[in-house]
Amino acid sequence: MKATLLICLGLVLIVTGLLLNTGRADKRKEGKLRHVVLFKFKPGVESAQIDSLIQAFSQLPHKITEIQDYEWGTDISPEKLSKGHTHCFLVTFKSEQDRDTYLTHPEHLKFVELLKPSLDDATVVDYWAR
């Protein structure tokens, strides 16, 4: 009797775990994939050049259909922990496949080449929004 009860309890735990994992996978498919990009520009890069680069980045959503949403801003944090990164860009995708298409898209690659001479450092983080 105890063995049967333990087996049943074990099966319930296994099924519950599978259902919870399935729920997480479904949430991921329904969620938004965020692509966070932080830029630190080289010393001496003129603000007009930075403005031109921001304009070029802002054109990508019009050229790459996989981009679902796009926004950007400059650091205003009083914590002073930006490590020199001054500009933050948030690009949203429906899937990892859409993000991967964006990363290898000719328009994105063209922008990266335009950016490189002015860029001192970049940080990129991707995550599924919860």
What pTM does this model have? 0.77
**DSSP line for 7-61:** HHHHHHHHHHHHHHHHHHHHHHHHS-EEEEEEEEEPTT--HHHHHHHHHHHHHHH
Polymer length in residues for the chain: 130
Packing angle, helices 47-63 and 106-115, rounded to 10: 170
Residue 36 belongs to what domain range? 31-128
Domain count, the chain: 2
Q: How far from chain centre, in Å, is Cα 70?
A: 11
Same domain? For 80 and 40 the reply is yes
pLDDT at 26: 47
pLDDT digits (tens, 9 = 90+) for 86-95: 999 999 999 9
Same domain? For 11 and 56 the reply is no
pLDDT at 5: 37
Same domain? For 74 and 84 the reply is yes
CATH of the domain at 94: 3.30.70.100
pLDDT, average across residues 13-36: 58
